[in-house]
Structure 1
Amino acid sequence: MVPVWLFATYLLIQYAVHERSRFEQDAQQTARQASLIVEGELNNLQTIVDGLSKSTALATGDLQAFRTEALSRAQGSDRIILLRDFSRSQLLNTTAPQGASLPPVAPLSEWERRQLGAARFVVSNVFAGSDGKDYRLAISERVRIPARDDLLLSITIPTSRIRDVMMRAVPEGWTVGVGDRDGNYVARSTSHEEMSGKPGLPEYPEKIVGRSGTFTFRNDQGLTQLVGYYRSQYSDWFYMANIPLSAVQSPLWRSLAAIVGIALVALFISGCLAYVVGKRLTGAAAQLAARADALGRGAKVEPLTTTVMEFDTIANALVSAERAIAERKFELETVLETVPAGVWFTYDPKALQVIRNRFAAELMGLPTDTPKAFGAPDLVIDTVAEKDGRMVSRQDRPLSRAMRGELTDNEEFSYTLPSGGRRHLLSSARPIRDPEGGIIGAVQISLDISDRKRAEEQRKLLVNELNHRVKNTLAVVQSIASQTIRNSTSLAEARRTLSSRLVSLAKAHDVLTHENWRGADLEELIAASIRPHAPMERFQLSGDEVWVEPNIALSFALAFHELTTNAIKYGALSNATGTVSISWGLIEQGPDRRLELEWRESGGPVVAAVKRKGFGMQLLEGMFSRVSRVSLSFDEAGLLAAFSVSLSASTGLSTSAARAAG
């Protein structure tokens, strides 16, 4: 409404200026019209005077006859015709009887003398009549008479005649006045009798400048008047048209009142419309704000139905933003729930409340089967943290340090959980900053390196075990080589025997390596020890599934090698019909388990008892002396070797159970 009111005010000012200008023009026009009407009457009187000036009686000096003509022109009217010289003497006056003594008249003014010198006619100022009350004016003509001085023929009328003539040009509400050259009122449309012949306000001569114009003044009653004036070239009188300024301004005030009234009505209507529209806008704005708040809280943003196009556009943008954020959120949650790394967020300055993903919950031993909205904070669990063998307080852990602005990169920590389990984590942490750079939260990402740490420990153990086994193996090889060389009759025999024994030892190593040196299956070990030297068809194997430890497996491998080579040389395998039967079984003796194994040869040559123990027998007895008993019997039917080996609880398992336990 303010621009409308400003425009209305501008129009009102323009209207006021236009109305003032119009009234000023009307005032000047009224004064001009009054002068035309009055001067028309003066021209009529001038015509009468001009006609009398051409009288033959006046030209011949017959004043009696001229008097008769003058009376005929003045009879029945308020006109007075007189004849005078340029001094003050009257020669004829239609109001005086024939032959009466005529009083002197007022002398001519300097202006009148100059005017008569330049023209034939002159209009006088207002003057008082013979009674001193009736103010009159005169139109005079210079009359030239042969053989005598020029005379002045005049006709006078009361100023009321001018008033009556002038009234035809006075609009309603206006006051028109006529002033003579001395500033005295000639006539006035109102209060003529009181003002005629009286001097006007002294401001008039000061303000009447030029031929026409307007001015304002305050009259005797204190009312401000708008005056338009016109100065006549004919009589040098000035004509004034007055109107109260309030009358000029009244249309303006009426227009102003109308505009104010219209403005109030418009204000009321606009207020009602503003209330209705504002209520709709505020309602839509409140709904829009609620949706923006829902977007900020991560809640679902419902579409907004409104006739305000801008709000509808913004609401649709919020809905689209909520959908895009939800998609990104689901993607992020899916990534965080899928990635094999523990992720913790915190916005708590003390880092006691955290948001964790599924893998982080698993790392801390928390249940993950209960559905839980991602982003809901939980209290941290009470764990014991260690780094490089030293205890680490909660304030010095990666997430707490990140809340203080510190950066953590790939630091290893060992955590003891409330359940007693241990986790080894490789952790990195960063602070979360707002756009101004302030810290508002922190994030920690940890990889579970428990398997790697266990693998490192296992590798360490394996290296130590390998060192131990290599030393033992080298000792065995050294012993085998030494005994082989000592008991061989030739270098070629020593080389052949040593090579054969080392091959058996290598086959046993192959079996153990295949099982990662956890042990070996007894039947598989027997076959691997025999197969390089003799066909398996000459052997009969029977027994339970038994898993033996690596050291016992190596001892059995060398024992079977010695027994096989001995059978090939001297026993059942030295001919084409002999066979070897190998049987074994587990015997429970309280908490102890014992493996009973029997090597029985048959079908070979007759065996005689040996008088001296060879290297093979010494090897058998030496390898099993600590945990076993070995007995050799040289029957005529063939060699019988019996082994009784003490096994631990784990090595006494079946092969499948031992492999599963390993």
Structure 2
Amino acid sequence: MVAEFLRRQGETILPRRSARSHLLGLIAAAVIPVWLFAAYLLVQYALHERSRFEHDALQTARQVSLVVEGELANLQTTLNALSKSAALANGNLEAFHGEAQRLVQGTDRIIVLRDLGRNQLLNTEIGYGADLPPVEPMSAADRERLKASGILVSNVFTGNNAKNYRIAVAIRVPAPKGEDLLLSISVPTARIRNVMMPAVPEGWTVGIGDHDGNYVARSRAHEEMTGKPGLPEYLEKIVGRSGSFTSRNYEGTTLLAGYYRSPYSDWFYTANVPLSEVQAPFWRSLAAVCGIGILALLVSAALAYVVGKHFTRATADLAARAEALGHGRAVEPMSTSVKEFAAVARALVAAERAIAERRYELETVLETVPAAVWFTYDPKALQVIRNRFAAELMGLPTDVRKSFGTPDRVIDTVAVKDGHTVSREDRPLSRAMRGELTDNEEFAYTLPSGVERFLLSSARPIRDPAGNIIGAVQISLDITDRKRGEEHRKLLVNELNHRVKNTLAVVQAIASQTIRNATTLPEAGRTLSSRLISLAKAHDVLTQKNWSGADLNDLVAASIKPHAAMDRVQIRGEKVWLPPHVALSFALALHELTTNAIKYGALSNANGRVSISWRLGIENGHPRLELEWREIGGPTVGPIERKGFGTQLLERIFKSESAGGVRLTFEKSGLICVFQVNLSGPVGAEANFLGHETGSEMNR
């Protein structure tokens, strides 16, 4: 039934695919990475080719600029030679016109001499003495270029014929009188094209633009394009000295262009190649890779179909054996050439035996786990199957010979939750039989024997494959010890609150009396800090022992060590355990004695020392401690005139007869202080010190 349910669930949740489909997917998964790698190589190849074309375009633009700039330099050389003419220097323009005329005779070159305004002085294209038409005045930009470099390469302009586009190279020459003149030589733009053509690679288009972005020359369609402005979207990408970009031309073709702007002429040179030509190798390679990949996929699909038939048959045999296992039938061994399928078949045979073993193991676990487990298939939850731990919690005998799974009737218990009695129908197992879920609910159960148990319980319904409730399970943890521990912690917290309040009261009294009896505020601060540190040291000693008490030797050392060197203190006495209230009393007393000895007594010089000794006896059936503080080698001690704060503190702490007493003797050899304390008495620092006003320090 379970196997059939899982099979139906698999049909509704996951689509089924044949072994052939999975093999085809496996092959595709193997081929696709190869395609992706090939695509990566193609992309890298395309990037490399583009980079190569960009480099070639830039190099071509530079080479063309070198050739053209060389021609412009030749024109400049001609002008430089002509500018040395004696006739020009003497102002004989007629003779100079003859020299210039002979220089350009039989060529398409024109020499013009003009001023920096609009006047021509001579023009080899027009006979000497004829009226010369005015020319365009020089722009401010041309004047700056001429001033900076001494030479000016013009923009493209028209000659006498509107279609005859020319360019000129001009230099500045001194005039015999007045402002300098401008000597220029012009040639048709066709001459520039003819000069650059040998440097133009086959299949490339090279263009030359002037300062304003108009075409000077073009390797293709020169006549149509000379003098025309370039496309704005093309020109705006020519930024800086050199670079490359893609843009459309007048025909709408996308070009890859490299450009170079000459510092000599300020013209830009572009070398262009159709982007389709750059990308053509990539598309050819891509088509080849796709064709080979599709062919490989088709061959793989055919192989998958052939191999898949064998896998499908073996899979059907495995499914039949799995179904037999699910229905509890015998699983027959399977003969197959597929090693993995044979392993699965053997696993199914072994699973038939393992299921029974696991059932026994589960029963053993349920009998061993330290949690109470109840199963029920009774709608009223009165018949239950319980594990050994559940039987022990309920005070029932555990019979190890009894087979797990045999139901028993529940015992009568009283269940309480949040202070209210819970009926049988509202307990976790009964609620789970109604489909409710219970998580970590605490119950207090009173057994028939009167024993009280605290359980943390969770319960769930057990459903069949169709979703119907057929039973329920409850798991409970015994938290009796934890609940008792919580009660114990509450008591400890209350005790801690009591001790904190008492300690704060002691601190308040010490602070009040210290400040009241101090002569200066700094003195009060030092004295108060010292006394609080002593009290804190005593608390540290008690805390280490969980406030169960303190060892007298440890307490003496902790009280004296922060203030004086221990090599000047001799401590003798047997091991004595002090109750907490007595320990605090001694901590305060020893602190006052130590600070007094440092200020006035044996520890105020370099030779004095202190002897502390004690003995433990029995008086009226109670342990009684006698501790002596004796100072030796200090200054001479005289009778005291009044009791200081320290003296009154000692007397008030130990004044109770039940607690003991204190006796102070001021001998010449030093102070002797003897404490007699009943260790079972309830009186200590907290009881005797609070609320009393005292003097300042102990006086000698």
TM-score, length-scaled by structure 1: 0.46
Say which structure, 1 or 2, has more relative contact order (CA 8 Å, 6+ apart). Answer: 2
**Larger-Rg structure:** 1
